[in-house]
Amino acid sequence: MISETIFLSPTDLMLAALLVVALALVSRCLGLGLAGQMIVAALRTALQLSLVGLVLKVVFSSIEPLWIASMAAVMLVAAAREVMARQTRRFTGWWGFGMGAIPMFVSSFAVTILSLVVVIGVDPWYTPQYAIPLLGMMLGNTMTGIALGLERLTESVWERRRVIEARLMLGHTWSEAIFDIRRASARSAMIPAINAMAAAGLVSLPGMMTGQILAGNPPVEAVKYQILIMFIISAGTGFGAFIAVWAGSRRLFDDRERLRLDRLCRPP
């Protein structure tokens, strides 16, 4: 028998927050230098999710494509900014932002719309109750994959720049000169998604499934949705990472197939 939903009070959340505070104090005692970042991140989590909850309440109350599109655009911009911020040697100019935004837009939006229209079959397909959570999970995971892939790509190219230039002098094309780095970067981007699928159910209960079960939904239905989410997240992350790594690789060479490290920013 499925029990009714237990609603959390502010006091319950404060008790959970004490665990983060305790972890921050331990971090400070160990001299890790993470206590401040941990507290700020926790405050941002509470504030951002609270604001999102209020926004979603308004969006869910009326199916307005303009509201949904606006929220999706904000989510995309925020995710692309996070990708750019996580790069030690990001691309110069608008490319630093575009290398995250364009692949995420292509992969996450395409896979999300395909899932809504073909797999779930919700009518209309942009129903916010389904579209916003699915897109959010897609963007969040694709963001991580693209960030990892681009970081590995740019750092490897910088460290092995002399090897790449030697290959070019020997007559290799730009694609051949960077092939092994590009492949390793794509693999790095895919590892988190593959690990998540391999460990699901055995090592951990994924977030969406856990949330649905805690909310009182039947476990079997929660499992079905979680399988769907795992599959589309892996697909979106993979396609997004492949696009970003290929585009980033091409950007590092000019039309004459010369390595252009001046297109990367110096580390802060």
| One domain, residues 132 and 23 | no
Across 83-98, average pLDDT: 89
Angstrom distances, CA of residue 152 to CA of 21, 87, 241: 33, 9, 11
pLDDT digits (tens, 9 = 90+) for 202-231: 666 666 666 666 666 677 777 777 788 888
| One domain, residues 125 and 251 | yes
* Structural domain boundaries enclosing 101: 63-263
- Out of 61, 93, 110, a domain closes at 61
User: 132 near 67, Cβ under 8 Å?
Assistant: no
Residue 268 belongs to some domain of the structure = no
Q: Whole-angstrom Cα distance, residue 232 to residue 137?
A: 10
- Which of 6-15, 23-32, 39-48, 138-147 has the least mean pLDDT? 6-15
Q: Whole-angstrom Cα distance, residue 40 to residue 140?
A: 20
The dihedral built from the CA positions of residue 73, 86, 207 and 184, taken in this order, carries a sign that is: positive
Tokens of 72: 């999706």
| One domain, residues 165 and 228 | yes
- Out of 61, 80, 105, a domain closes at 61
| One domain, residues 48 and 152 | no
| One domain, residues 111 and 7 | no
| One domain, residues 42 and 76 | no
DSSP state letter for 253: B
| One domain, residues 56 and 77 | no
- Out of 61, 76, 95, a domain closes at 61
Q: Whole-angstrom Cα distance, residue 218 to residue 70?
A: 33
Q: Name the pTM for this structure.
A: 0.80
Q: Whole-angstrom Cα distance, residue 216 to residue 25?
A: 35
- Those residues whose C-beta lies under 8 Å from the C-beta of residue 228, and which sit 6 or more positions away, are 115, 119, 120
> How many CB atoms are closer than 10 A to CB 187?
15
Q: Is residue 149 within a helix (H) or strand (E), and if so which, with residue range?
A: helix 128-159
| One domain, residues 80 and 142 | yes
| One domain, residues 193 and 153 | yes
Long-range CB contact pairs, 177-182, < 8 A, 24+: 177/259, 178/249, 178/252, 178/253, 181/153, 181/156, 181/157, 181/249, 182/153, 182/245, 182/246, 182/249
| One domain, residues 105 and 39 | no
- Report how many domains make up the chain: 2
| One domain, residues 202 and 255 | yes
Residue 268 is predicted with a pLDDT of 65
Instruction: Examine the pLDDT at 104 and tell me if it is beyond 50.
Output: yes
